[in-house]
Amino acid sequence: MRYLPLTEAERREMLVAIGVPSVDALFRDVPKAAWRDEPFDLPPHQGELEVERALARLAAQNVPAGSVPSFLGAGAYRHHVPATVDHIIQRGEFMTSYTPYQPEVTQGTLQYLFEFQTQVALITGMDVANASMYDGASATAEAVMMANRVTRRSRAVLSGGLHPHYRETTETNARFAGVTIVAADPHPEADEDLAALIDDKTSCVVVQNPDFFGRIRDYSALAAAAHAKGALLVVVVSEIVSLGAITPPGEMGADIVAAEGQSIGNPLTFGGPHVGLFATRDKYVRQMPGRLVGQTVDADGRRGWVLTLSTREQHIRREKATSNICTNSGLCALAFTIHMSLLGEIGFTGLAEINHAHASLLAEKLESVPGVTVLNDSFFNEFTMALPKPAADVVEALVGHGVLAGVPVSRLYPDRPELKNLLLVAATETNTEADMDTFAAKLQEVLR
């Protein structure tokens, strides 16, 4: 596509049309402290080889999660991805495929999206899943909007155990959609009475399992309480591997499930791209955002796949669209599908068991360190520890010892000083017992 820059006259014409005096005025919401007035101090142009060397030097300042013992989590997890996944997704037809605008001529894309949907519906315990979400956070925001459409209400109750990024994304969408958000305070040991926050204007209650602090909950009673008042239960899952071991949201009475699928088939890549998962009940399918691929037969009785429901504005009248979701993390969804197919039901369950076993062993080793307390009464592969000093300082010190110790809660809740000594620690199948011993030994040394 050729890029044709705008002329100054065209810019002035557009500014007049929208009633803004200058381009700078368009960015008035950006804090002045974040503005940069002087030009960037960049070196002069160089050859390709010189640029590669310069970028390699910059990249070497990072500590990749695979280069040292890593216990990072908080919504993005390091799992082993079989080489087969990367090999298959690099086939030319997959690398170049995009949104199926002419869907029925892209049978391969539709088939893997159909299988992706089937896998998501099975592991979440729901009736139907779509294939159109960017990530877990945006899927959560879409779930709230969908609940509003189903119930014709506009008030959502969010658990304090919901991942703060998911909550912020939902609040941003809600702000421009006239939705009232009631969010409980985050606390690793609090027993929330979310049922008491439901009133006759509440469209949904949003909870996470395992929650942000790693706790596992049974939300069956909350689902019943929500349904009794005409509200829906939205269950969020940020670590999809957990569904190989714990009760699926569908069996707890969830009406909508929003999840992050990065853990299956997709490596850690500086924050993305991730792949959002979204599932619901049959009776709500026409209010589901995005697209749904269905299976059918052609005139000759041969099996084929079609875009069955597509509620985005490109396929239906704009005023009827349920969402502006217009594409998805297609290649990431394919990676998810391939990895899940390789695992199978037994492999998925086995992977979950290994994760939980490693986390349990890690918790034992770390809790033996003087001054350390594991706060969780239950967890899957991630838990919260209380330290005798600020967790951010401890993590920084441990980086110097070659250990990525976890995520300080204060990094995600900088305005909550009461949480500054809390550290989120995750263990997956990639962590060896030697990694855990190194972590425990270095932690004791840093806390001494």
Q: DSSP per residue over 72-97, as a string? A: --TT-------HHHHHHHTSHHHHS-
Main-chain phi, psi angles of 429, to 5 degrees = -65, -15
CB neighbourhood size of 411 (10 A): 13
Among positive and negative, which fits the CA dihedral 258, 412, 438, 70? positive
Q: How far apart are CA 259 and CA 208, in angstroms?
A: 9
Task: State the pTM of this model.
Answer: 0.89
Helix (H/G/I), strand (E/B), else coil: 403: coil
CA 27 vs CA 37, 171, 319: distances in Å: 13, 21, 29
pLDDT by 10s per residue, the chain, length 448: 567 788 999 999 999 999 999 988 998 888 888 888 888 888 889 999 999 999 999 999 988 888 999 999 999 999 999 999 999 998 887 776 556 666 676 788 889 999 999 999 999 999 999 987 889 999 999 999 999 999 999 999 999 999 999 999 999 999 988 999 999 999 888 789 999 999 999 999 999 999 999 999 999 999 999 999 999 999 999 999 999 999 999 999 999 999 999 999 999 987 778 999 999 999 999 899 888 899 999 899 999 998 887 655 555 566 666 676 666 688 899 999 999 999 999 999 999 999 999 999 999 999 999 999 999 999 999 999 999 999 999 999 999 999 999 999 999 999 999 999 999 999 999 999 999 999 999 999 999 8
371: alpha, beta or left? (left if phi > 0; alpha if psi -120 to 50): left
Return the bridge partners of 157, or none.
Answer: 182, 205
Edge-to-edge order in the sheet of strand 180-183: 128-129, 276-280, 256-260, 232-237, 202-208, 155-158, 180-183
Asked if the bond preceding 210 is cis, omega within 30° of 0, the reply is: yes
Q: What angle do CA 182, 186, 188 make, to 5 degrees?
A: 145
Instruction: Please give the full DSSP string across 188-212, using - where no structure is assigned.
Output: TT----GGGG--TTEEEEEEESS-T
Q: Distance from first CA to last CA of the chain, Å, rounded? A: 60
| Measured distance CA(290)–CA(58) in Å, rounded | 39
Which amino acid type is present at position 299?
A
Please report, to the nearest 10 degrees, the dihedral formed by the alpha carbons of residues 61, 67, 72, 73 taken in order: 110
CA distance 65 to 55: 19
Residues 388 and 399: their CA atoms lie apart, in Å, by 18
- Write out the two tokens for 181: 């958000």
